[in-house]
Amino acid sequence: MNELHVRAMLAGVFFGIWPLLMNRSGLTGNVSSAVFALGALVVVSPFALYEFRGVTVSVVWTMVVGACIFGGLGLLAFNGMLSKATPQTVGSLFVLMIVVQIATPALYHVINGGGLTISKTFGFAAAILAAFLLV
């Protein structure tokens, strides 16, 4: 296991915890999105500022803007769901979101040259079945 595996696992733990906490915050969806974005900016800024020098030389800004738009819309949709979900339903809704989130880059991989293999077909079917059984 290397550093990237550890970071992926930590990201999974942290991304798994924050929505469960936000669900119990009592904030509405749009307000919780703004508060979360601001709070994340405060946490991330010292690290980003340290690395920012010279970073903008080869940046594809259209991709950055697209990522921000999709990320913002996803955050609004997700926090809107969190604010209305009960503690009893938040887990299953979170699982549904994660299954769809996993299927999205898998589909991207299939479209961009990976091809649809039998194992990937079974993987998509398993994801659909998992979402159905877990929700």
Do both 134 and 97 map to the same domain?
yes
pLDDT of 103 reads 87
pLDDT of 51 reads 84
Supply φ then ψ for residue 57, to 5 degrees: -65, -50
Q: What is the mean pLDDT of residues 66-75?
A: 96
Supply φ then ψ for residue 82, to 5 degrees: -60, -40
Do both 41 and 74 map to the same domain?
yes
Q: pLDDT per residue over 32-52, tens digit each?
A: 999 999 999 999 999 998 888
User: Scanning the structure block, which residue is given the tokens 């010292």?
Assistant: 46
Measured distance CA(79)–CA(36) in Å, rounded: 9
Judged against a pLDDT cut of 80, whether residue 55 lies above it is answered with no
Can you read off the two tokens belonging to residue 24? 């119990």
State which residues form the domain around 120: 87-135
Q: Of the segments 32-41, 55-64, 92-101, which one has the largest average pLDDT value?
A: 32-41
Average pLDDT, the chain: 91
Judged against a pLDDT cut of 80, whether residue 57 lies above it is answered with no
Do both 69 and 109 map to the same domain?
no
pTM metric for this prediction:
0.83
Do both 43 and 94 map to the same domain?
no
